[in-house]
Amino acid sequence: MRSFQLRALGPARALGAAVFAAVLTPSVLVAQASGLGQQSLRPYWHVFAAYTLVILLVAAWAFSIGRRLKDVENRLSD
């Protein structure tokens, strides 16, 4: 039972780290671009938003599958 839980946590943790790293990358880009002045900043924000939404949607789907998997496995092992 315990080893099973550790196994289930593995991918979840890796996913979390990946999300963190990937969200961090565009924000570095925006920070770099901030010197360019007000008008030209808008495209950077849109790119940032788009890439963040990609990560969020993929992660949301992955987490939802993970949660449902864990739920079914718990009920199966009862």
Partner 1 sequence: MSTAGVRRGGTALTLIGLAGLIGLFWLSFFWVSTEVNQGVAQRIFYVHVPAAWTSFMAIGISALCSGVYLWLRDERLDRAALAAAEGGFVFATIVLVTGPLWGKIAWGTYWTWEPRLTLTLLLWFIFLGYFMVRGSTEDPEKGKRFAAVVALVGAIDIPFIHVSVLWFRSLHPQPVVAKAEGPTLPQDMLTTLLVGVLVFTVLFFGLFLMRYALEGLRAELQLRERRTSS
Q: Is 73 in the site for partner 1 (CB under 8 A)?
A: yes
Q: Is 63 in the site for partner 1 (CB under 8 A)?
A: no
Nearer to partner 1, 34 or 50 (CB): 50
CA 26 – CA 51 distance, rounded (Å): 8
- Nearest-approach distance from CB 42 to partner 1, in angstroms: 7
Nearer to partner 1, 2 or 39 (CB): 39
Q: Is 71 exposed, middle or buried (0-12, 13-18, 19+ CB in 10 A)?
A: exposed
Q: Is 27 in the site for partner 1 (CB under 8 A)?
A: no
Residue 26 contacts residue 51 (beta carbons within 8 Å) = yes
Structure tokens at 41: 């900043």
- Nearest-approach distance from CB 65 to partner 1, in angstroms: 5
